[in-house]
Amino acid sequence: MLHLQPKKLPSLLESITMLLIVVSIISYFIIFLQSVPHVPILLAVLIMITYGFIKKFSFQQLQDGMVLGAQTGMGAVLIFFLIGVLISSWMASGTIPVLMNVSFGLAEGPWFFAIVFTITAISGVALGSSFTTSATLGVAFLGVAQSMDASLAITAGAIVSGAFFGDKMSPLSDTTNLASTVVKVDLFDHIKNMAWTTVPAFLISFIIFVFISPEQTIESEKIAAIQTGLLDAGLIHWSSWIPLIILVAMSLTKKSAFVSLAVSSLIATVIAGVRQVIPWGDLWHTWFSGFTAQTNNDAVNAMLSRGGIDSMLFTVSLVILALALGGLFFVTGVIPSVILNVQRKLQTIRTITLSTALTAIGINVFIGEQYLSILLTGESYQDIYDRAGLARKNLSRTLEDAGTVINPLVPWSVCGVFLGDVLGVAVIDYLPFAFFCLLSPVLTVIYGLTGKTISTKE
């Protein structure tokens, strides 16, 4: 979006004022009025259009900015639709139920939240996708937490933390590859350098989740009843593992997320059809409307009735609105003005690292897109790191520490909207418990301020 900026940028004070007005309105509506995010973001779009008219922009220029902003999220929108299909087809084939059944066995031991965090982290590294991990294992673990009356907010925080550990550290992850590619750093050098912040953040998060995990022995009978209900639903079968195995295999062979999700969903649907879980005609309808369980156990029905393209429409509409707002921020010069003014004041390792982190966080907050956070911050700062004699792997690490993992903490961001929808837990509720995501930017800033683990150019 950098080429969207106008020839004459607004002043720094004017830009900051507009950003604060927009964020204040969105925050007030979401936090205090408990409004759906669509309403304040649409109001923010109207405010920015009005601001554009005052600055003598034509509506065509503003519309082009909105369209270009929305276009940046089309890849994610297509993935969202497929994830809706994946969840419904995996429910029908028994893949998510069998994962739930295994998860119940793990839940009977101690440290439930720590186990959720660790398993989703391992899955995230294997799949390279926070979305897929959250939509599959995440849904399974939330079903377990719901049955044992464990905190859904903390469970969701553990899921998000683990999923984004994987999204950050997996060589299969698109954000990991993007961060290393944008600043021209070897992928595995980038991953190794991230370990300085990621490993401590993982260990601290794990310890916290251990201490806040609930006692499980009290709920053992309830867990057993839910497991019996899952088995009685007739969905669990040895073939239920096939869609998961295929998805992992395609991810490891670096097939695109779109193709991997589509193939796994098709195979899951065929398996459900062959096993006659529901009639063939109704089975294809679940791709849009989601799977509906019909058992004698209400708790099991609530856990298994999910998915479908329809369940993603809330998310998709919000993503398009948020990215359109981001396009307006750029076409009016508001965000480019802030970035340019900040860059002029960067002289030391401390100011460069702190500014990089704040820029990545700020783009996540104001635009709501992690790819743009990585791309725009990386493009804006790589020359600054070169002039300061700093290795670019410091920049790529900060892009991930303050870019990738912050997006799920913003209620109107692409990741935040998706996770809140698919997990059924509001971002505001799980945010305080997404310890890994909160710790990563803190550690990267501390290292920048102290100079620890900061490499110079060879």
Judge if 64 and 29 occupy the same domain. yes
Tell me which residue range forms the domain holding 323: 2-74+313-450
Task: State residue 313's pLDDT score.
Answer: 83
Torsion angles phi and psi, residue 277, rounded to 5: -60, -45
Place of tokens 């799920």: 408
Alpha helices in 275-312 (DSSP H): 280-289, 298-304
Cβ neighbours for 270, distance < 8 A, ≥ 6 positions apart: none
Average pLDDT on 390-395 reads 84
Q: Give 108's pLDDT tier (boundaries 50, 70, 90).
A: low
Judge if 421 and 355 occupy the same domain. yes
Give the tens place of pLDDT for each residue, 345-356.
666 778 888 888
Q: Is residue 91 part of a domain?
A: no
Judge if 375 and 427 occupy the same domain. yes
Q: Which two tokens stand for residue 387?
A: 């002039």
Task: State residue 4's pLDDT score.
Answer: 56
Task: State residue 438's pLDDT score.
Answer: 93
Rg (CA), the chain: 22
Judge if 154 and 295 occupy the same domain. yes
Q: Does residue 109 carry a pLDDT above 60?
A: yes
Q: Where a domain ends, among 258, 276, 310?
A: 310
Judge if 255 and 177 occupy the same domain. yes
Judge if 299 and 325 occupy the same domain. no
Q: Give 413's pLDDT tier (boundaries 50, 70, 90).
A: confident
Q: Is residue 39 part of a domain?
A: yes
Task: State residue 218's pLDDT score.
Answer: 43
Task: State residue 234's pLDDT score.
Answer: 74
- Looking at this protein, which amino acid is placed at residue 68? L
Q: Does residue 206 carry a pLDDT above 90?
A: yes
Judge if 63 and 166 occupy the same domain. no
Q: Where a domain ends, among 288, 310, 332?
A: 310
Poorest-pLDDT segment among 192-196, 373-377, 405-409, 424-428: 373-377
How many structural domains is the chain composed of? 2
Q: Is residue 7 part of a domain?
A: yes
Kindly state the DSSP code that residue 34 receives in the 8-state scheme.
-
| Number of neighbours of residue 9 by Cβ within 10 angstroms | 19
Judge if 233 and 353 occupy the same domain. no
Give the tens place of pLDDT for each residue, 134-153.
877 788 788 778 777 788 99
The residue count for the chain: 458
Burial class (CB in 10 A: 0-12, 13-18, 19+), 102: middle
Q: Where a domain ends, among 250, 283, 310?
A: 310
Place of tokens 């505001």: 428
Q: Does residue 393 carry a pLDDT above 70?
A: yes
Q: Is residue 90 part of a domain?
A: no
